[in-house]
Amino acid sequence: MPRTAVASAFDALDNHARALRVESAPDLFARNPLRFQEFSVPLDDFLFDFSKHKITRETIALLVALAEARDLEGRRAALFAGEPVNNTEGRAAMHMGLRDFSNKPIIVQGVDFRREIEATRERVFAFARDIRAGAILGAGDKPFTDIVNIGIGGSDLGPAMAARALSPYRGAGPRTHFVANVDGADLSDTLEPLDLSRTLFIVSSKTFTTQETMANAASARARVVAALGETAVPRHFAAVSTRLDKAAEFGINPERVFGFWDWVGGRYSLWSSIGLALAIAVGPDHFTQFLRGGFDIDTHFREAPLDRNIPALMGLLGVWHRNVLGRATHAVIPYDQRLARFPAYLQQLDMESNGKSVTRAGEPVETATGPAIFGEPGTNGQHAFFQLLHQGTDVTPIDFLVAAEPVAADPHHHALLFANCLAQSEAFMRGRTLEEAKALLRKEGRFEAEVERLAPHKAFSGDRPSSTLLYRKLDPRTLGRLVALYEHKVFTQSVIWDINPFDQWGVELGKELAGRLAPIVEDASVSTAALDGSTAGLIAWRRG
C-alpha cells in the first residue's frame, strides 16, 4: 500500500484517541455488559482478555485498518512461505518450521527441509532418551545427574527459561544448570556443588566462536581434564553447533554435535537443537508437546481474522500504546514463580528484534519503535515496582499471565495468587477517586483535617491498561503457546513499524569492540593511546 495509506491510518487513530480522552475504562464497562465477551478471545483452554484497555470496537477497526495498510497478511504469508524476510542478511526466518506438524513440505527459500528437520530432531531426542535412561555414562561409568548448558543470549535464555518453567515435568531426569555470563563467578558458582564425574556439558554456539561461550567452555574443559583426565572430554561434552571442525578440535565426538540452520535466529532457536538441554530435562514427549503448543499458535495466527487474532491483537494494542498514546514501557507480570525468567526471555525477543531506528529500506523510521520490556513474577512485583505503575506519572501497559490451576503447588496458595492477579488488574483499571479516598479515611474514623491531608496520597488515577493471558495450567503445550504468541506479536509490530526484526547489528558492534579491547585489558604493556579518553582512563585506573 502507498505510504499515504499508513499515514492516514495513524491520523485516524490519533483523532480517535483524542475523542476517547473523555472516556474511562470503568465507564465503558458500565455502558456495555457484554464488554468482556467482545474484548476477549478464547483458544481452546487459553483465553486472552483485553477488555481493560480503554478501547472500543472502533479502536480495533482502526488498528486493523493500519495492519491492512501495512499488508500484515501479505508479510505474514511471506514469513510462513520461507521467503528471505530477513532482508539485511538475505535469510528466511522459518523457526516455525521446527514445530510444524502439518506433514506438508517445509519450504525455505525454495527447498523442502521437512526430512532434515525431523531427522535432526530425532537425533536430539535419541540422545536425550539415552541420557535420561542412564544409557550414556560419564568417565567413571556413572549416569549423569547434572547437565550444564553453556551458551549466551538465545542459546541460554530460551532453554533456561523453559527448563525452569517446566521443572515439574522433569521426572527422574537429570538436573539442568545454565551458564552464560563470562564473569567467572557464574561458572564457578554453578559447578561448585556438582560432581564432575556425573556432569555433562552442552556447549551451545552455532559458530563455536562466541567469545563468552567459548571462554566458559574452555574453563569447564580445563576443570574436567584436571579432575578426570583428557580422555574424559569426549564423554562429558556435547555441542549444539554447525561447526563440526571446531567442535572436533575441542574434543567433542561428532556424534554428539547437533546442528541447526542459518534461517533460525538465536532468539528463536529454542525450538531447534538449542533446546537439547530442555529435551533432556523434560524428555522428548514433553518437548514434543511444547512444539505442538507453538504450532497451535502458528495455525491460529495464520487463520484467525485480525480482529480475533490473539498475537495480532497483542501487537496492535502495543502499537496503540507506543505510537498513539506515547507509552514507552511495557510490563510482563507472570503470576507463576516458575515463569520467573519469562520476562527476561521476552526482553531479548522483543527489544533485540524491534529495537531498530531504520526501516527495512535503511531509511529513518517515522514512528517510535519497540518499548522497554520489564517484569517480575507476581506477587513479588507488587511489593517492588507496582507503586510506580499504580501512581507514577507515566502509564505502563501490563500483560498479566496466570493459570487457572496450579501444577505441583498448594491449591490454597494458588487461590491467593490468582486473587492477587485479578485484584491488581482491577485496581489498575478502576483506580480510586479523591472522594472515594476521603470516604475510606472517614470510615476509618480519621479527623477531617487528616482526611484532607492524606486523601491525595491514597487516590489512584486508574485507567491503566492491562491484558490477561489466562490458561488452564502451565504445562509444556501452554508454554509453547506463550512463547509463540509473543514471537508473532513482535513480528506484527515489526510490520507496522516497517523494520527488520530478525537481525541484531547493535549486538555485533559490542562484540567487535570487546574483541579489540580484551588484549589491551589483559596486557598492561599495550598502549591505550588510540582509545577515547574515558576508555583509556578506565583501563589506566585498573592497571593502577
Eight-state DSSP code of residue 313 = H
Eight-state DSSP code of residue 404 = S
- Nearest by Cα to 214 from 175, 256, 252: 252
Tell me how crowded residue 426 is: count the other CB atoms within 10 A of its CB.
14
Q: How far apart are CA 157 and CA 3, in angstroms?
A: 37
In Å, the largest CA–CA distance within the chain is 81
**Annotated catalytic residue: which of 83, 212, 352, 376?**
352
**Phi and psi angles of residue 444, each rounded to the nearest 5 degrees, phi first:** -80, -5
CB 277 within 8 A of CB 149: yes
Catalytic residue flag (residue 38): no
Q: How far apart are CA 236 and CA 154, in angstroms?
A: 23
Q: How far apart are CA 386 and CA 364, in angstroms?
A: 35
Q: How far apart are CA 47 and CA 404, in angstroms?
A: 11
CB 128 within 8 A of CB 170: no
Q: Which residues contact 20 (CB under 8 A, 6 or more apart)?
A: 54, 55, 56, 59
User: Hey, what's the cell of 355?
Assistant: 529495537
Catalytic residue flag (residue 383): yes
Q: How far apart are CA 102 and CA 299, in angstroms?
A: 10
Cis upstream peptide for 210 (omega within 30°)? no
SS (H, E, C) 8-34: HHHHHHHHHHHHHCCCCHHHHHHHCCC
CB 134 within 8 A of CB 262: no
**Annotated catalytic residue: which of 249, 255, 383, 413?**
383
- Nearest by Cα to 331 from 421, 424, 466, 478: 466
Catalytic residue flag (residue 511): yes
> Can you state the percent helix, strand and coil of the chain, rounding each to 5?
55, 10, 30
Q: Which helix (H) or strand (E) holds 317?
A: helix 310-319
SS (H, E, C) 282-297: HCHHHHHHHHHHHHHH
Q: How far apart are CA 220 and CA 104, in angstroms?
A: 42
Helices (H), 40-167: 57-69, 72-80, 114-133, 157-165
- Nearest by Cα to 294 from 102, 40, 122, 496: 102
Q: How far apart are CA 440 and CA 487, in angstroms?
A: 44
CB 497 within 8 A of CB 348: no
Residues that are catalytic:
352, 383, 511
